[in-house]
């Protein structure tokens, strides 16, 4: 399929970032990617297929890396939110 999203010749992490931006604005795509009981491997395959159909080129390692980064960012955010301030004095 022809590139319809201006991804041009970008690949890898940059293309994945561009695809994520498209997905955030497209409720139908979000629904397509939300499959109950879907394994991580199946989810990555769904992402790669949907991206390819929309003219984006990146691999499974790019998706795994982003998933790990976002998971770690969420854990850090939780840890920071749960850390209380020291008592006065």
pLDDT for the residue 86? 73
Exposed, middle or buried, 43 (CB in 10 Å: 0-12/13-18/19+)? middle
* Total residues belonging to the chain: 89
Q: What is the pLDDT of residue 11?
A: 82
Q: pTM of the full predicted structure?
A: 0.72
Q: What is the pLDDT of residue 1?
A: 39
pLDDT along the chain (89 residues), means of 10: 53 93 95 91 95 96 91 68 68
């Amino acid at each position: 399929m022809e590139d319809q999203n201006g991804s041009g010749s970008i690949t890898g992490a940059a293309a994945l970032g561009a695809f994520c931006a498209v997905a955030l604005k497209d409720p139908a795509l979000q629904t397509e990617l939300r499959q109950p009981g879907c394994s991580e491997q199946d989810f990555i395959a769904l992402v790669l297929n949907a991206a390819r159909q929309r003219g984006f080129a990146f691999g499974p390692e790019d998706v795994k890396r982003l998933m790990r980064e976002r998971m770690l960012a969420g854990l850090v955010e939780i840890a920071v939110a749960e850390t209380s301030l020291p008592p006065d004095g």
